Structure 1
Amino acid sequence: MIEKLISFSLRNRIMVLLIAASLFGWGLYSVQTNKVDAIPDLSENQVIVFTEWMGRSPQLVEDQITYPLVTNLQGLPEVKYVRGTSMFGMSFIYVIFEDETDVYWARTRVLERLNSVGNMLPQDATPTLGPDGTGVGHILWYTLEAPGMDLGEQRAVQDWYVKFALQNVAGVSEVASFGGFQKQYQLTLDPNKLSYYNLSVPQVIQAVRANNNEAGGRKFELSDIGYIIKTTGYLESAQEIENIPIATSNTIPVRVRDVASVQMTGESRLGIFDLNGQGEAVGGIIVMRYGENAEEVIENVKVKMEEVAKGLPEGMKFNIVYDRSGLINESIDSVRNTLIEEMIVASLVVLLFLFHWRSALVIMIQLPLSVAIGFILLNAFGISSNIMSLTGIALSIGVIVDDAIVMVENAYRHLADATKGKPWED
């Protein structure tokens, strides 16, 4: 079989060269279009369901949220198993699908089932799907450097400006904020005053909710001009909250300030983010969408950061603390340098021992062609260029060189014996 293949190739040299050139061109195109990442995605094909029910104990969350969701999500098609985790105020469900299952089809089926089991959960607990990323989707971390700025202000800039801008980048699944304080108004009720005015906690909550709202009126025309009537009721300061009436006692309104103290503070935190031991910091994590090109997404995020930085408060700037593109570039450079070094060494070995430039040329052509064909197969099987795949190519280069040297030397010796020293090169 091998002899026939060699004979056919020798009789049809032009066709073999054309096929090799076509494969090499296809390989170059595959190198340009192949997805590049540093870490291979070995995570399971999963969909995460997150439910927040703050203030409840883990056992209560387990009984009323985690258990009902796990039991109802187990019947989905192509599901391998379902895992559930309960903690203080939060529930996480991990629905693991078969490896061949399309991740977006899986998310759709999970969402359909959640719509049917929503009535089984507590009224103020709403399950939501996690981002369509993977376990290795954290491609870039950044912090906001703003000396002298309050952590609450930094977190507000991150949540209401930076986050929304970076989420528009193609390939970004989520921008997860961390650090700082999430500003909120807190009411501290005095139970003695509530008892004195004969009020309950739900009454206070209802009064605040009813006054933190806008209501629409109607449209009317006056002198051929149309006017739209509405009421502006969003609360904008602690003083406005203090002046909200709750009830009337002897024709005198009882306001929030009569039964509670109102202050601007941060939401309760379960931890802090410290940067290099220099104090707390505020920032975000860029989560890449499933199946995207990590190198391209990181580059697009950096370009967007330069645009977003123009709108940041004076003195604030981005500080990238983790960037996977460095590891990606090092991986690519390693394979490229290995290929060049192997080609040079193999060619020098052949030239030194055989003193035949055509034999060296065979090896120099064979190496890049083999690597190009390897990238064609990577694209065909949907494998990205990462540490594992590129390392495999680098290791295979050594095998290819060894085989090439042995085969070229063997062919050279047989041709030399057959011609008995005659100039067979011609």
Structure 2
Amino acid sequence: MISKFFINRPIFAAVIAIIIVILGSIAAYTLPIAQFPSLTPPTVVVTANYPGADSETLANDVISPLEAQISGADGLMYTSSIASGSSGTAMITCTFEIGTNLDLATVDIQNRINLAEPILPSVVKTLGVSVQKKTADILFIIAMYSPDESVDDVTISNYVSANVLDEIKRVPGAGQAQIFGPRDYAMRVWLNPDKMATMGITATDVNNAIAEQNIQIAPGRIGQSPMLNGQQLTIMLKAKGRLTEPKEFENIIIKAKNDGRIVRLGEIAKVELGASNYEFLRRVDGKPAVIVGIFADPNANALDTVAAVKAKIKKLSKSFPAGIAYAEPYDTTTFVKISIEEVVKTLFEALMLVVFIVYLFLQSWRASLIPLIAVPVSLTGAFIGMYLLGYSINTLTLFGMVLAIGIVVDDAIVVVENMERIMQTEGLAPREAALKAMSQVMGPIIAIVLVLCSVFIPSTFMPGMTGLLYKQFAMTIAVSVVFSGFTALSLSPAIGALILKEHEKLPPKIFQKFNAWFANLTESYVERSAWLVRRRMLTVFLYCSAVATVIYLGKTIPTAFIPSEDQGYFISVASLPDGASLERTEAVAQKIEAIQKAKPGVEHVISLVGFNLLGGQQEPNSVTVFTRLKPWEERTTKETSLDGVMHSVMAEYSKINEAFAMAFAPPPIRGLGTTGGFQCRLMLKGDANTTKIAMYTQQFIAKIKERKEIANISTQMRPDSPVIMV
């Protein structure tokens, strides 16, 4: 009998338990921390730029050749593509089966893109086609600004690009860091068409002259072999290279006339140093700022990543130039951190309740000590299983441990109660009582472990996203139960044989009163149960009523994959009519900012003017606003809750006549969608064109609007954008 081995060797049993606790503690320290298990399928994003191209050109000349090569990738489930004529960007999102190695998938897609590059437009090949592993949604935002407005945003943007961005990218776990709407330095040439016409100069002439004279060349050497006899020196030649000052660009020769006169760029144009892109505006709380978004690696520890980024930017801020400061207006890990803390708090509360209940009924600190030692051993053992299975510490695994507390304590209680019963009824010594007790309960303990495992382990084989979500929850409980059974067969009887003693004849008065009350309660319960058993029809009626009530509630209570929670922020997207200028969009953004800042629960408002989060692309007629709410302890009223603030701003959004604006809660699980709610796509097979897709899309939207459950619905398709044929 295995228990006899440990009863005779209590030190060996204690050493094994200590090893389990140490290994479990090390595993808990090294396990990644997240809100939920990793559920998002591996995704690779292919991006190509074709400046000036319309959506149809992007779809036909860029996306179609790329998709033709990508379609045969191993493990690829589907692709979705976006062609943005406003920014000249084509983006293909490749979604792979869950479990696919993302690194290998990225390499495979890159190789396939290389095969398609020869047939792409020359401009696209020159700018390059990027292939990147897609990370989750924005994890953290840093806002760089000038408090006294002494430094313009172009200078700040270029300083961040040169000195901050690469440092953040090197932080472990920060898979991607980018500036929203970077304003890289560029020399802007404003041509005077009247002067150009007078001198017979075209824009092509100017473009060719700049391309030919603004280059980096390698002149070579003087005196390099083969050479004449007597050559004494070999001298390296160095050319000036690319031009960097407006004056240098103004001196570019555009044309030489027949009379020997030279026309320079400065004579027909105004040259100034500016930014390469002005189609994007960024503000924090209404003030201009440079927004840096940090995205985490798919398998990174979000909490550690944000902590490391905060430490890095704090260190870098010591060397910022005068007039530049930073803020942290958006942090999605705050909710994750608080969620984990609340579950850990619940875990300790459950442990304290178990301690109280065990002592209340066993009425002996010696007997209570045995299950109280078994619980931490079983729970820390669960961390070993989580580590070996590649799980993370998340709300579901911790919730599984909360439930496991009440389960794992049972095995130890069975051992202790049987030992005490034998000691009291048969007068055996603790060691003999332990041996006899284990001979009686070893089979039931093993049966308990097997029954509980047979309940939880099969749930890990559930298909789809639900199975992935609850797999770690079920396995955490199962592993805890296995360690609990082992502890009940080894450590519990060994400790019991050492510390248990015969009870006093009468327990303390407080326990005598509790025992008397509980005996009366038990007697009353038995009497009422007997009365109910004698009335079979009433029993059947009550049972059927309970079943019917459960069925009714199951059909009427709203269902959801995961409940939506107040994560401390929400997102707004506003769209103006197609073709609206950035200036008009900025005016709408200012109205949205004013509406939100007037709400008592709002702390920070981050506006990205010229960006549509739903489509993931730049659009001069769209604005995306991230709204961070005040801490939860400061929002105790219904009006300051997430739903209260969202309903309030939506009511005022309806008064904005220039645009259609909506507010969204973030998705319950990061990476599964851009906002709360759901997305669907329409696909036409056969002879499909933009007109047909637009028609069916509007019909689909009209049908969906008829359903009362749907609050808002919109589409990012813009088939009627104004176009001038040239």
Aligned residue for 2:52, secondary structure, equals coil
**Which deviations, in whole Å up to 9, do the C-alpha atoms of 1:277-336 show, x marking residues without a partner?**
x32211311222232233333333233223322221024233112334544443443343
CA 1:186/1:418 → structure 2, altered by over 3 Å: closer, same or farther?
same
- 1:260 is matched by which residue type in structure 2? A
Following superposition, the deviation at residue 410 of structure 1 comes to 4.9
Q: Which residue does 2:140 correspond to in 1?
A: 140
Once the two structures are TM-superposed, the CA of residue 349 in structure 1 deviates from its matched residue by 1.9
The runs of 5 or more residues in structure 1 that have no matched partner are none
Greater gyration radius:
2
Distance in structure 1 (CA, Å) of the matches to 2:250 and 2:90: 35
What is the distance in 1 between the residues matched to 2:415 and 2:355?
11
Instruction: Using the aligned pairs only, state the percent identity.
Output: 23
CA contact (8 A) 1:50 1:130 kept: yes
Q: Identify which of 14, 25, 28 aligns with 2:25.
A: 28
User: How has the CA–CA distance of structure 1 residues 273 and 371 changed in structure 2, closer, same or farther, with 3 Å as cutoff?
Assistant: farther
1:119-268 maps to which residues of 2 (within 5 A)? 119-126=118-125, 127-136=128-137, 138-147=138-147, 148=149, 149-178=151-180, 181-219=183-221, 227-250=235-258, 251-268=260-277
Q: Note closer, same or farther for the CA distance 1:172–1:128 as it changes in structure 2 (3 Å cut).
A: farther
**Separation in 2 of the partners of 1:318 and 1:224?**
58
Q: Which residue of 1 is the match for residue 717 of structure 2?
A: none
Residue 368 of structure 1 aligns to a residue whose secondary structure is helix
Query: Which of 291, 300, 305 is 1:283 aligned to?
Result: 291
Partner deviation per Cα, 1:77-103 (whole Å, 9 max, x = no partner): 222222222112111111122222211
Decide which moves more: 121-130 or 212-221.
212-221
User: What is the RMSD of the two structures over their aligned residues, measured on CA atoms?
Assistant: 3.0
Deviation sequence 1:98-126 (CA, Å, 0-9, x none): 22221111111111111111011111114
The one-letter code matched in structure 1 to 2:111 is E
Q: SS at the partner of 2:18?
A: helix
**In 1, distance between residues paired with 2:341 and 2:287?**
36
Aligned residue for 1:258, secondary structure, equals: helix
Within 2, Cα distance between the matches of 1:266 and 1:218?
34
- CA gap of 1:269–1:145, structure 2 versus 1, over 3 A, is closer
| TM-score for both structures, normalised by structure 1 | 0.87
C-alpha distance in structure 1 between counterparts of 2:165 and 2:253, whole Å = 37
Partner of 1:117: 116
Query: How far apart in 2 are the matches of 1:396 and 1:274?
Result: 48
The equivalent of 1:407 in structure 2 is 414
**More off after superposition, 74-83 vs 416-425:** 416-425
The equivalent of 2:104 in structure 1 is 105
Output the CA distance in 2 between the equivalents of 1:224 and 1:417.
Answer: 112
In structure 2, what is the Cα distance between the partners aligned to 1:240 and 1:17?
81
Contact 1:331–1:390 (Cα < 8 Å) also in 2: no
* Counterpart for residue 425 of structure 2: 418
In structure 2, what is the equivalent of residue 360 of structure 1?
A: 368
Q: How far 1:214 moved relative to its partner?
A: 2.8
Of 385-394 and 369-378, deviating more is 385-394
Change over 3 Å in CA distance of 1:323–1:56 after alignment to 2: same
Matched position secondary structure for 2:80: strand
Is the 8 Å Cα contact of residues 197 and 249 (structure 1) preserved in structure 2?
Answer: no
CA contact (8 A) 1:343 1:363 kept: no
Alpha-carbon distance between aligned partners in 2 of 1:365 and 1:340, rounded to the nearest angstrom? 14
- Structure 2: gaps (5+ residues): 224-230, 434-499, 502-726
Q: Distance in 2 between matches of 1:202 and 1:295?
A: 53
d(CA) in 1 for partners of 2:303 and 2:252?
53
Give the 3 Å change call, closer, same or farther, for CA 128–417 of structure 1 in structure 2: farther
SS at match of 1:265: strand
**Among candidates 74, 79, 93, match of residue 77 of structure 1:** 74
The alpha-carbon deviation at position 351 of structure 1 amounts to 1.8
The alignment partner of 2:94 has SS state of strand
AA at the equivalent of 1:33: T
Q: Give the whole-Å Cα distance in 2 for the aligned partners of 1:210 and 1:158.
A: 31
Task: Identify the residue that residue 386 of structure 1 maps to in structure 2.
Answer: 394
Alignment partners' CA distance in 1, 2:324 and 2:284: 16
- The one-letter amino acid of 1:29's match is I
Using the alignment, how far apart are the partners of 2:404 and 2:319 within structure 1?
A: 50
Q: Which moved more, 1:416-425 or 1:259-268?
A: 416-425
User: C-alpha displacement at 1:274, in angstroms?
Assistant: 2.4
Q: Which amino acid aligns with 1:71?
A: A
Find the aligned partners of 2:29 and 2:76 in 1 and give their Cα distance. 36
Change (3 A) 1:131 1:180: closer
Measured in 1, the distance between the counterparts of 2:34 and 2:234 equals 58
Q: Which amino acid aligns with 2:129?
A: T
Matched-pair contact (CA < 8 Å) for 2:69–2:115: no
**Aligned-pair distance for 1:370?**
2.4
Deviation (angstroms), 1:270: 4.2
Q: Structure 2 vs 1, CA of residues 220 and 243 (structure 1 numbering), >3 Å: closer, same or farther? A: closer
Relative contact order, higher structure (CA 8 A, sep 6+):
1
Length-normalised TM-score, structure 2: 0.53
SS at match of 1:333: helix
The alignment partner of 2:298 has SS state of coil
How many correspondences in the alignment? 419
Higher strand share: 1
Deviation at 1:76, TM superposition (A): 1.5
In structure 1, how many angstroms separate the alpha carbons of the residues matched to 2:329 and 2:253? 49
* CA 1:295–1:400: 2 relative to 1, 3 Å: same
Match of 2:405 among 397, 414, 419: 397
